[in-house]
Amino acid sequence: MSLAYNPNATIENVLPQAKKMKEMLISMKESIFIQQQQITMPRMITDSENVKVATEWSIQSNRATIAQAMFELMTTDLRTGVEKVTIPILILGSWYGAKDYGITKESIKIKYQNQFYKAKNYKIIIAETAKHFIMWDQPKWFLNTVETFIKNEE
């Protein structure tokens, strides 16, 4: 994940931040964590009912597991080895939830290209109006895109 924001990131230079993030998530008071999830989820999901579901799921999740997952996302570089993948890769991306922060569809596509450029056969498709949870924000588009990809690769 760190490489998506900084193509020059290394495990060594993101490790201190990753450790702080992990510790912060584990030690955060429950009331603050709940508030944080209530603020974060509407930025990631459009439909208010799905926001409620995801918020509740995140609150009920094991916080140590969330913290470890974030730590691993921040400190794992999967660019090396992706060239060994022999099957076609479909990468679905979103940008719409960050449009107010200067993020564009094109800039997100470039970030994914920087991650997968060593892969032999990949396709990047960016959703037009979905936030982070593409499958909830654009369910028909999501399913059609995946089905089309699979059918074309059979």
Q: What global pTM score does this model have? A: 0.86
Q: What is the CA radius of gyration of the chain?
A: 17
Encode pLDDT of 39-82 as tens digits: 999 999 999 999 999 999 999 999 999 999 999 999 988 888 89
Q: Is the pLDDT of residue 17 over 80?
A: yes
| DSSP string of 67-119, one letter each residue | HHHHHHHHH---STTGGG--S-EEEEE--GGGGGGT--HHHHHHHHHHHHTT-
